[in-house]
Structure 1
């Protein structure tokens, strides 16, 4: 059986934002060292930070300081996550023109995450997109709990499709589907990606968590369904602080290994990602979840061991 895979995909590194948001705050110098190591991997898109309440997410309190240093790497497409029009203004004033805005497909998560119903959060897409477009940028809407919500249970596919369709009408330039608590499976991935793409008329990216060990399988299913925009986090760090049970993202190094060993170009140097993962592990002060980080990349041949008889 042959796999129908694209020649290349575009990976967005989200470890600096989604990866670190559950961790205790780390110093700016350590964060900049991680940024430099991630840039050295060759990744083309990096989500750098989030302009959100520092009380809610203390690890992102240095967002303006991080933004002020990103001019050192002009060839990378930097983006930031926002949760409100005010956050969008702050991010734009800090120099970002690529913004992500999260809309939950279920009220339970939306109320826990941003204190608004999903419809109220969706309505803010229009003013946020307008602010971004005035600066010549792009607004991506990430539909959180696209498959399942920790508070409300399974998300009806029609609800996720409707959120995505309305977000596009309200000005979103791109869409991504988030498996916020890591519960979805390959068949559900393909079905929802196809439904959203058909209804919204936009390409769809994916953001998977590996909470239940299905992250890589879900990526493979999505890629075979035509998805080429994939989020991943160095070392498998991350999760949503407002979704009980949401653990780490799919690990960038594991994703790169799987895809490149399958003949899909990512443009990312696996050895360099492993170096970056080592820096992240030192900075957060605990072992990373990534199996590949522990095992290393492709094993080097040991050579033949001769049998020596006395």
Structure 2
């Protein structure tokens, strides 16, 4: 099992308090001290729409760049691609939302329009030597259109997988999935592609960790998580945080998955960022402690 730490991006984008670049860089430094080596550090969204993600260029200019660490940036459109390339990100994450209404609210396009412009975006990133993950957002359910059929996810995944990408991710953006949903969607996507799979899980209805287990058992290699369980989507009503990195690490250790991350250092990062935000972490490990 591998972890992508998404706290600096997804964790911060839905919080009321927008943090300056220096604070965000310090947060990333604390994350790296735990041994995590893939970090979704920024989003190249429009600052007027997501003010919490302003100063992406300043953050990327100031983060440490030790060997083996890879920084990802979320990109939504060709302008975001230009900014991402100029900021020397190591990986890009492009989101294709599974439903038209959510896609319009999140990106200003239909699903078909997003898919049509995807090849040029991937080509531009590839020409700059930047590998791309494509995430299918709202893959487990939509706050506006409701249930999302498994076959719809399969058809979108098949079209995306025909492009030169490095990884495909399924996002439970509003945290409605259960383990059976994970197994069904992962199996459907696996029938279309052998690309490495990743899951982005929110714990809105307290099923995120069960879904993580189901995903790993189904063959998913990588899970997104955020320190403290902070996060959410500013364009999804009642969206809450991601599964918490430290709680996921406890689950992984006790399950014999042997992650090479120091969860005590993750808790230090959680304490720092939640104090800066003025919120209480959703994660439980910092309160209960490990075992034995």
Secondary structure of the corresponding residue to residue 49 of structure 1: strand
1:142 aligns with 2:121: no
Question: Of 213, 230, 240, which residue of structure 2 is paired with 1:237?
Answer: 230
TM-score calculated relative to the size of structure 1: 0.91
How many pairs are equivalent? 291
Cross-structure match for 1:15: 7
Secondary structure of the corresponding residue to residue 149 of structure 1: coil
Cross-structure match for 1:283: 276
1:48 aligns with 2:41: yes
- The worse-fitting range, judged by mean Cα deviation, of 12-21 and 97-106 is 97-106
Distance of 2:67 and 2:43 partners within structure 1 = 19
Cross-structure match for 1:167: 160
Cross-structure match for 2:55: 62
Cross-structure match for 2:91: 98
User: Counterparts in 2 of 1:116-131, with a 5 A limit?
Assistant: 116-131=109-124
Distance of 1:161 and 1:221 partners within structure 2 = 18
The answer to whether the 8 Å contact 1:49/1:79 transfers is yes
Secondary structure of the corresponding residue to residue 198 of structure 2: strand
The answer to whether the 8 Å contact 1:125/1:171 transfers is no
How far did residue 257 of structure 1 move?
0.5
The answer to whether the 8 Å contact 1:197/1:203 transfers is no
How far did residue 266 of structure 1 move?
1.4
Cross-structure match for 2:150: 157
Question: Of 257, 262, 267, which residue of structure 1 is paired with 2:260?
Answer: 267
The answer to whether the 8 Å contact 2:204/2:239 transfers is yes
The answer to whether the 8 Å contact 1:259/1:266 transfers is yes
Secondary structure of the corresponding residue to residue 275 of structure 1: helix
Question: Of 249, 252, 260, which residue of structure 1 is paired with 2:245?
Answer: 252
Distance of 2:11 and 2:81 partners within structure 1 = 21
Distance of 2:261 and 2:166 partners within structure 1 = 25
How far did residue 297 of structure 1 move?
2.6
Which consecutive residues of structure 2, in runs of 5 or more, have no partner in the other structure? none
The answer to whether the 8 Å contact 1:175/1:205 transfers is yes
1:132 aligns with 2:125: yes
The answer to whether the 8 Å contact 2:102/2:143 transfers is yes
The answer to whether the 8 Å contact 2:29/2:64 transfers is no
How far did residue 71 of structure 1 move?
4.2
Secondary structure of the corresponding residue to residue 153 of structure 1: coil
How far did residue 123 of structure 1 move?
1.5
Say what the alpha-carbon RMSD is for the aligned residues: 1.2
Q: Deviations over 1:163-206 (max 9, x none)?
A: 11111223332100000110000011011101102213312110
The answer to whether the 8 Å contact 1:148/1:183 transfers is yes
Distance of 1:71 and 1:123 partners within structure 2 = 36
From the CA coordinates, give the structure whose radius of gyration is larger. 1
1:77 aligns with 2:75: no
Which consecutive residues of structure 1, in runs of 5 or more, have no partner in the other structure? 1-8, 300-310
The answer to whether the 8 Å contact 1:235/1:288 transfers is yes
